[in-house]
Structure 1
Amino acid sequence: MCTAATYKTEDFYFGRTLDYECSYGEEIVIMPRNFRLQFLNMGVCESHYAVIGTAHIAKGYPLFYDAMNEKGLCMAGLNFVGNARYFKNAPDKDNVAQYEFIPYILGKCADVNEAKELISKINITDTPFDEQMPAGQLHWIIADRNSAITVESVSDGIKVYDNPIGVLTNNPPFDEQMFRLNDYMHLSRKQPQNNFSDKLELKTYSRGMGAIGLPGDLSSQSRFVRVAFVKANSVSAKGETESVSQFFHILGSVDQQRGCCEVKDKEYEITIYTSCCNADKGIYYYTTYDNHRISAVDMRKENLDGNELISYPMITEEKINYQN
C-alpha cells in the first residue's frame, strides 16, 4: 500500500510512500539521456530525457517505482490489486509492457499534456519482466507543476482522470477516491461552531476539533482522505529546506509503523521509504523506515549525457545527532 502527493511553493514537489512488508533492494537510480532503452514492442530509444527515481535494477534495466525527468515531469506507480487489467498486443496501438510504462513516458514527455497525448495511443501489455517478476497490478499518478492526472488500465481500457487534489493511494479506483471526499466537506482547520442544536450549549474542549472525523486508519481510502486534507491545509515557508520538510510532514501523516498492519503471521507492512522530488531543481530526497534523516541525490551533479545507469544505495540506518 502506498500514498503519493504533489506540493508547490516556489518550486514543485512530488513524492510518495512505499508501504510493504519487505524491500527488493531498491536504489536511487539516474538514467542518463543516452542510456539505451530497449522496449519489447516499441524498438530502441537511444536518446531520451534524463530520469532520476527509486528503482530496482534487474539485468541492467531500471524498474522504476517513482521518478521524475529533467523537464520536471513526475510519475509513480501504486498498487491497484484486483482492479488493474493489462492486455495482449493490439495491432492498432503502441504496445508498452507494464514495467516499461514509467521510462517510456518520462523518457519521451516534457509535461502532462504530452503524456496525455502519448497515453491515448498506448496499450499496456501484460508481458512480465521475467518468469520471477510478474506484471505488478498498478495505477499511476503523473504530474508537473501545473497539473496532475491518474492513469488506470482496467477491464474496459485505459482511463485517464484529471487529478485536481494531486493525491493518489491504492484502491478503490480514482473516481471513487475523489467522490469519497464529499463525505468530509465539513472538516476544517478552524475550531467548529455548534450546529448540532441551538437548544444545547455545546463547547469546544480541545484544539484541533475542526478535524474530528478525519479517518486515522491505514486503509487506502482513509489515507487518501487524510493526505488530501493535510495537503489542502498545509502552510510552509517558500524556501527549499522549509518546503522539503513540510512535504515529508504531509506524507508523514500516513506513515505505517511496524506492527499495525499484519499481512501474514508476524509479517508487517511498514513505510519502507518516503520520497520527495524537487522537480524544478532535479533533486531527489528520501527517508527510510530506520533512517529519518533526509538524504538527497542531485541529478544535475551527474553527467546526464552518459549512457550508463548511475545508482546510489539507500541509506537505511538511523543517523542520530548527539548534542553532548
Structure 2
Amino acid sequence: MYDNHQNNIEEAIIMCTSVTFLSTTGDHFLARTMDFAFELDGRPVVIPRHQTFTNDPEDSYTTTYSFVGAGRNFGHYILVDGVNEHGLSAAALYFSGEASYAPAPVDGKVNLAPHEVLNWLLGNNTDCADLGSKIDTLNIFNKSNRLLKLVVPLHWIIADKTGHTYVLEMQADGLHYLENPVGVMTNTPDFNWHLKNLHNYTNLQPGPHPDRQFDQMPVSAYGPGSGMLGTPGDYTSVSRFVRTAFIRQYTQAESTENTVNVLSHILNSVEIPKGVKLKDDGSSDYTQYRGYMSMADSTYYMQPYQDQTISRVRLTADLMNLKEPKEFPLHDQQQVVDLV
C-alpha cells in the first residue's frame, strides 16, 4: 500500500482530481477540481495564437495555437488547465514526493519549468499523438514558481477530442508519457500505482450485493447501495482516484449540452468544503473552483467555490487572433462569457 511518509509538506499544499467523460452525442470533456489553501485567484484566460513566453532568465518558448483555461498573470500568463483550438485539453495536478526534474536547461531541447509545461502543451500540439511525437524534445527543469516560491511538483493529464487520454509524469528515471485507460487522475503516488490499486476494488458495483447465508441465518443489506460498500470516502489522492473511477464508470451520460452538469455531479463526490481538510498551520485546503473543458467546441467552463454559477468562454476566431492574452473576471458576463 501507499506509504504515508510521502504525504510531505508539499502534499499538504494542494490536491486535485481530474476526470474525462463522453456525452451521448459523442463529444469528449475533461474536468478537474482545483483544491488549494493558498488563494490562487484564477480566472478564465484566452491565450491567442503565436505568443512568446520568456522563461527567467533568458530562455523563451513560442506557442502556435490559441487556448483558453484558468490562469493568472505573473509577468506573463500561467495556466493550470485548458483546451486549445484543436480540442486538445490538459490539466496540471500536484505530484509531490514523486516528481523529479532536470537540474538545468539542455541545449537543443524545449526547456520548461514545471509550471510552464501546460502553456506549451496546449500552445503547440493538436492531439495526443502530436504531443507523443515531441516528448523527446522536452526538458522539464528545476525552476521556482514566482508565486509559491518553490519548484512546483506537477504531473499532467492530457486528452483529445478523439477520446485518447494520457498522463505525463517526470520522475528520477525520466519522462513518462502513459496511456490513461480509466480517464481519471489525482495526485501522488504515480499513475501506474493507482491503476494497480484498482484491482483491490473489484467488489464495487452499482447494484446491490446478493443476500448471504451465515449457517442458518439469512442476511441482507440494510437498504439499497450495498454495491458500493468499501468505497473509500476520505480526501487522500488514493481514495479520490478509486471513488472517481467508479462513479465515472457508472454515471449515465447525457447530451453534450448537459454533460457539464453531469460532470459537476461526479466532482461533487471529491469536492472539499472549507474546514474539513486542514494543514498544520490551521489553513484549509478547499476546492477553489472546478474547470470543465469541452473538446468538441473548445469551450472552457469555470465554477468557483464562492458562487456555484458556471460561466463559460468559447474560443472564437476573434479571440484566437487577438494580439495579446485576454482574461475574463468571473463577474464579467459580457460577450462570450455567459451563464450556462
Indicate whether 1:16 and 2:32 are aligned.
yes
| Structure 1 segment 186-197 matched on structure 2, within 5 A | 186-194=203-211
State the shift of 1:131 in Å. Answer: 8.6
1:62 aligns with 2:77: yes
* Aligned match of 2:93: 78
Cα 1:196–1:34 shift into 2, 3 Å: farther
TM-score by length of 2: 0.86
Q: Could you list the per-position Cα deviations for residues 208-244 of structure 1 after superposition, in whole angstroms to 9, with x for gaps in the alignment?
A: 111111111011100000111110111032141x211
Contact kept in structure 2, 1:4 and 1:168, CA below 8 Å: yes
Q: Helix, strand or coil for the counterpart of 1:159?
A: strand
Kindly state the Cα deviation for residue 168 of structure 1 after the two structures are TM-superposed.
Answer: 0.5
Write the mapping of 1:87-102 to structure 2, written as runs, cut at 5 A: 87=102, 88-91=104-107, 93-102=109-118
Taking the aligned partners of 2:61 and 2:177, their CA distance within structure 1 comes to 26
Aligned counterparts of 2:148 and 2:38: Cα–Cα separation in 1: 16
98-107 or 213-222, larger mean C-alpha shift: 98-107
Q: What is the match of residue 283 of structure 2?
A: 267
The alpha-carbon deviation at position 256 of structure 1 amounts to 0.4
Unaligned runs of 5+ in 1: 317-324
Does the residue aligned with 1:227 lie in a helix, a strand or coil? helix
Residue 197 of structure 1: CA displacement? Answer: 5.0
Distance 2:213 2:173 in 1: 45
- What is the deviation of 1:315? 4.5
Alpha carbons of structure 1 residues 21 and 43: separation in structure 2 relative to 1, 3 Å: closer
2:42 paired with 1:26: yes
Report the Cα offset of residue 99 of structure 1.
Answer: 2.4
Alignment counterpart, residue 233 of structure 2, candidates 216, 220, 228: 216
Q: Indicate the SS of the match to 1:120.
A: helix
Counterpart contact for 2:52–2:60, Cα < 8 Å: no
Q: How does 1:312-323 map to 2 (within 5 A)?
A: 312-315=328-331
Given the two structures, how large is their TM-score scaled by the length of structure 1?
Answer: 0.90
- Which residue type is aligned with residue 99 of structure 2? A
Of the candidates 184, 190, 193, which is equivalent to residue 167 of structure 1? 184
Number of aligned positions between the proteins = 313
> Residue 254 of structure 2: which of 188, 212, 237 is its match?
237
Q: Deviations over 1:234-282 (max 9, x none)?
A: 1032141x21100111111101011111113431111000011111112
**1:199 CA displacement:** 5.1
For the residues of structure 1 that align with 2:130 and 2:317, how far apart are their CA atoms? 27
Q: Deviations over 1:134-185 (max 9, x none)?
A: 3211111111132111111111111121111111101111111111111111
> Aligned to 1:306, what secondary structure does the other structure show?
coil
Q: 1:75 corresponds to which letter in structure 2?
A: A
Which residue identity is paired with 1:7?
F
Q: Aligned partner of 1:5: which letter?
A: V
- Partners in 2 of 1:42 and 1:108 — Cα distance? 17
The answer on 1:205 being equivalent to 2:219 is no
Q: CA deviation at 1:74?
A: 0.8
Matches within 5 A, 1:36-51: 36-38=52-54, 43-45=60-62, 48-51=64-67
Identity %: 29
Give yes or no for the alignment of 1:155 onto 2:172.
yes
Matched position secondary structure for 1:164: coil
Counterpart check, 1:251 vs 2:234:
no
Does residue 139 of the first structure (1) align with residue 139 of the second (2)?
no
Q: State yes or no: 1:52 paired with 2:68.
A: yes
164-173 or 265-274: bigger deviation? 265-274
1:268-283 to structure 2, matched below 5 A, reads 268-283=284-299
Deviations 1:66-115 (A, max 9, x none): 11111011111111111111112234643222222111121111000111
User: Contact between 1:288 and 1:315, CA under 8 Å: does it hold in 2?
Assistant: no
Q: Is the 1:230–1:250 contact (alpha carbons within 8 Å) kept by the matching residues of 2?
A: yes
* 1:110 is the counterpart of 2:102: no
Instruction: Please state whether the residue corresponding to 2:198 is helix, strand or coil.
Output: helix
Matched, 1:3 2:17: yes
Q: Shift of residue 39 of structure 1? A: 5.3
State the distance in 2 between where 1:219 and 1:311 align.
33
**Partners of 2:215 and 2:86 in 1: how far apart?**
56
CA distance in 1, matches of 2:266, 2:259: 11
Q: Which amino acid aligns with 2:207?
A: K
CA contact (8 A) 2:112 2:139 kept: yes
